[in-house]
Structure 1
Amino acid sequence: MWITAAALLVAAAFFVGLSLLRINTIHVSGNRQYTAEQIEASIFDSRLSRNPVFCYLQYRFRPHKSIPFVQDYKLVFRSPSDVEVIVYEKSVVGYVSYMNSRMYFDKDGIIVESTSETLPGVPKIAGLSFGHIVLHQPLPVEDISVFNEILNLTQVLSVNEVAVDEIRFNKEKEATLQIRSLKVELGSNSEMNGKLSELTDILRDYPDLSGTLYLDSYDESNANPMYRFDKN
């Protein structure tokens, strides 16, 4: 009887001790769209959520916190007071405007998020014809091959570190970039790497260009190219 009472007392003291513990150190990895502070504030949004016991039970048995552009996250407890948050962000290549919202989509054209927020580094995609949009469903465009064009273009832009505000496609799927006050006519998707390499060099030398630059005449075999430029 005394042993049982003592065991209960020890257990009670143990859980009281745990309840007084607090997560003080939080490491965040895998985040690109959000800062570590923003991720921390979204997941640990109350005093109770910083209790390691409550946090662990909530993480294991309750739905995870919903964070825009985040597919999921994982909590790794290094100690009762030290936690690592591993963030798995949604893959986003662009967005279209629809009913006063920005509909962000991934490389396959799946709508992954609807928000009024502007995601830094993600261009607006214009010129596409589409029907009714449903979240988590493919963007209903006439020709789905355009998503390959968008993916290829955004990847090459990223490699060349060219930040674009808008990518506009015409009916022939020819692309035009909007970079602040500069419009860049790229034409067809042929020799796109070379066109964007030229654009990178031009922007490096003339970062404040304002007008229309025509790179649709790019020819890889031309060692001394000249391009038409119409100043605003």
Structure 2
Amino acid sequence: MKTRYKIILVVLILCFLGGIAVWLYDECKIDSFEIDGIEMQTDGRMMYTPDDIRDKLGRGGLNELAPVIYFNSKFKKHVTIPFIDSYSVELKGLSGIKVHLYPSAIIGCTKFMGYYMYFDGDGMVVDSSLSLIEGIPVVGGLHCDSIVLYEEMPVSNKGIFNEIKALTMKIEKYKLPVLGFDFDDNHQVTLVMKNGSEIFLGRKDNYDTELAVLNSLLKSYSVKSYIDLSRYDGSKASIVASPMEDEETGNPDEPLQQEEEGTEGEMEENVTDTGESDENVTDNETAVENEQ
């Protein structure tokens, strides 16, 4: 009898513990998942959504429980998330999670083997992608024979990354529409603008004076232009600018207004030609009537 009671007692305890486990699983199942710390954007949207981060941290099984996600972030190796340097997890109640994301300090990228390789201020390659992230300048002229993810870029002049960082900060400060910039063999800098214009800055200790006036200067040119600011001293006479040739026609670009005027002229000629054709038709009809 005692053995029977013991078995019943054990079964009851197991059922009780099982009930508690089911209750805890239901109570701790994630029903609130938030993220913050994302500032970089691509294509007009956030780089990561809460669902994206949830997928990175794991789904299914115990990963559906908020305390498990929190425990893993504290005592296990963090998962690798592209463009994210680190993250921390905050437990909000039994079923809420908030993930704080700390983006990598990307200052630029370079094109290599069809990929955009993103690097930080120390020249460390922090990530790569097939598409370009808006707002990250593309840097040319680094001359790397090989680039390895999570390793320092093998450039001969390590100080170039300080210059890239300074340029990037100024570009962000003045909100310049820069797509990227190139370094030539003499370490001279040329900015490539989003409209295709090129701004030659030359080689200087800093480019504050030139970049500070660049936005207003670009408004003075309605066509894609090559602008030489290497000798800029604050005067208009020190600015050398010329329209760039169109890649398809090989001719210098013309202002849009002139192109529209040419189109209107062609339309007027067509109308005149049409009027002459109508006169010819009238003459033919008169000739037919006379013959009759």
- TM-score if structure 2 supplies the norm length? 0.69
Which of 50, 54, 77 aligns to 1:44? It is 54
2:38 aligned partner: 31
Within 5 A, what are the aligned runs for 1:14-29?
Answer: 14-21=20-27, 22-29=29-36
CA distance in 2, matches of 1:36, 1:20: 31
Q: Unmatched 5+ residue regions in structure 2? A: 1-5, 245-292
Q: Are 2:243 and 1:228 aligned?
A: no
Deviation at 1:211, TM superposition (A): 1.4
2:106 counterpart SS class: coil
Conserved 8 A contact 1:75-1:84? yes
Match for residue 119 of structure 1 among 115, 125, 133: 133
Contact 2:38 2:48 in 1 (8 A): no
Is the 1:183–1:213 contact (alpha carbons within 8 Å) kept by the matching residues of 2? yes
| Cα deviation code 1:138-193 (max 9, x no counterpart) | 21112111111111111111111113212101122111111121111111234511
Check if 1:74 corresponds to 2:88.
yes
For 1:13 and 1:225, how far apart are their aligned partners in 2?
85
User: Residue type matched to 1:229 in 2?
Assistant: A
| 1:156 corresponds to | 170
Q: Which runs of 5+ in 1 are unaligned?
A: none
Deviation at 1:51, TM superposition (A): 2.6
Q: How does 1:124-143 map to 2 (within 5 A)?
A: 124-143=138-157
Q: Is the CA contact (8 Å cut-off) linking 2:123 and 2:152 kept in structure 1?
A: yes
TM-superposed CA distance for 1:26, in Å, is: 2.6
In 2, the alpha carbon distance for the partners of 1:61 and 1:7 equals 31
Displacement of 1:25 in angstroms is 2.5
Report the identity percentage.
Answer: 24
Kindly tell me: are residues 104 and 15 of structure 1, through their superposed partners in 2, closer, same or farther at Cα, counting changes over 3 Å?
A: same
Q: Distance in 1 between matches of 2:49 and 2:80?
A: 11
Separation in 2 of the partners of 1:206 and 1:13? 75
1:194 counterpart letter in structure 2: T
Within 2, Cα distance between the matches of 1:30 and 1:208?
39
- Cα gap change, 1:213/1:64 in structure 2, threshold over 3 Å: closer, same or farther? same
Instruction: Name the count of aligned residue pairs.
Output: 229
Alpha-carbon separation, structure 2, partners of 1:26 and 1:141:
42
Aligned partners of 2:145 and 2:130: how far apart in 1?
Answer: 20
Cα distance in structure 1, aligned partners of 2:79 and 2:223 = 44
- 8 A Cα contact 1:175 1:185, kept in partner: yes
Give per-residue Cα distances to partners, 1:76-115, cap 9 Å, x unaligned: 0121232211001111111112222221111111111133
Pick which of 132-141 and 38-47 moved more. 38-47
Greater helix content: 2
Cα 1:36–1:176 change in 2 (3 A) is: closer
Secondary structure of the residue that 2:153 maps to in structure 1?
Answer: coil
Displacement of 1:61: 4.5
Paired residues of 1:69 and 1:90 also in contact (CA < 8 A)? yes
Is the Cα contact below 8 Å between 1:43 and 1:65 reproduced in 2? no
Distance 2:9 2:22 in 1: 20
